[in-house]
Structure 1
Amino acid sequence: MTVNRRNLLLGGTAIAAVAAFAGLRPTGTLQAAEGDFPFQLTDEQWRARLDPAAYDVLRHEATERPFSSPLDSEKRAGTFVCAGCAQPLFTSDTKFDSGTGWPSFYTFIDGALGTTVDTSLFMTRTEVHCSNCGGHQGHVFEDGPQPTGLRYCINGVALNFIAA
């Protein structure tokens, strides 16, 4: 390929687009779930407490790969708790198979979650976080089953399961 004005402009535009898209990914510590939470640790303490994948999701709003969490297929009776602070978030009787590759629930335990507006990735979504530590859990969508019609799409690494 020869370097001409057209190829130079196309290449520059592509680099600018990639840079702009990369800039849309949330960075920093809990950009969406800012505020005072009952359970707080320093960033160094969070790093020591969590494995790297859970740290990225809970503290930097990353997303785990779909179908990578064993909790997606967890079917036993019990409670799903925040991997950051162990606050109970969901009960097993509200879990369903959404086919998305992430653990999904149609409701949560009262008071366990907070929400914020997430405008990253060229769309507006509702982000859900633990009300105790502010840890990012995932998002809620309006395409779930009855009785709520909601789908809480949660990162498995943001949860731990406690069997009944």
Structure 2
Amino acid sequence: MNRRNALQTLTTLVALPWLPACSRASDTGAAAAPAGAKTASSKIVRLNRPAAAWWDQVSPAAYRMLFEEDTEPSFSSPLDKEKRDGTFVCAACHLPLFDSAHKFDSGTGWPSFTRPVAGHIGTKKDFKLVWPRTEYHCARCGGHQGHVFDDGPPPRGERWCNNGVALAFVPKGQPLPALRS
């Protein structure tokens, strides 16, 4: 067990007595959402594919982020400094998740956005660090992308903080990759 896993286990054990009192995200019943999660739209159909099926289609680092909910080190992703016009897609299934028009430099070392593509993100409460956070994932493949915080710029005040390795960037003028099934 590494330090991160030990810390997560310890904080979970400390938080267990508090969890019933905390509010949790409820399942909206949308077909695209994993258990206990919410999605903004039912237009995206959730793929019925186990996480292990993505192993040969993404890098080992991307697999850890997307399907084991790992976090990459801050300032390690070249996408943090990506400033070209284009679209950020899920590294696993290629669903467009963010438009570059909504990207900003948050100073955190992770690619950050003010809003996702409507209906392409699902959310759920994450209690891994004791206090609740809102985790978000690709509404199509369920791959973990990052967390959303309320310290972003006006007018929305949202910071969608993403693992860079969980995304691929497609410059404007280039065709988006075909969706993977």
TM, length-normalised to structure 2? 0.72
Instruction: Specify the SS of the correspondent of 1:116.
Output: strand
How many residue pairs match? The answer is 142
**Structure 2 residue 65 is the aligned partner of structure 1 residue 57:** yes
Given that 1:24 and 1:121 are in contact with CA atoms closer than 8 Å, whether structure 2 keeps it comes out as no
Shift of 1:18: 8.8
**Structure 2 residue 90 is the aligned partner of structure 1 residue 82:** yes
**Structure 2 residue 166 is the aligned partner of structure 1 residue 158:** yes
The separation in 1 between residues aligned to 2:4 and 2:34, in whole angstroms, is: 27
Identity %: 53
Q: Equivalent residues in 2 for 1:105-116 (5 A)?
A: 105-116=113-124
**Structure 2 residue 7 is the aligned partner of structure 1 residue 21:** yes
TM, length-normalised to structure 1? 0.79
Shift of 1:121: 1.6
Q: In 2 relative to 1, CA 40–123 (structure 1 residues): closer, same or farther, beyond 3 Å? A: same
Larger-gyration structure (1/2): 1
Given that 2:8 and 2:128 are in contact with CA atoms closer than 8 Å, whether structure 1 keeps it comes out as no
**Unpaired runs of at least 5, structure 2:** 13-32, 36-44, 173-181
Which residue, 134, 140, 146 being the options, matches 1:126?
A: 134
What does residue 155 of structure 2 align with?
A: 147
Alignment deviations for residues 9-32 of structure 1 (CA, whole Å, 9 cap, x no partner): xxxxxxxx9985242699xxxxxx
What does residue 75 of structure 2 align with?
A: 67
Q: In 2 relative to 1, CA 125–18 (structure 1 residues): closer, same or farther, beyond 3 Å? A: closer
**Unpaired runs of at least 5, structure 1:** 1-16, 27-32
Given that 1:67 and 1:101 are in contact with CA atoms closer than 8 Å, whether structure 2 keeps it comes out as yes
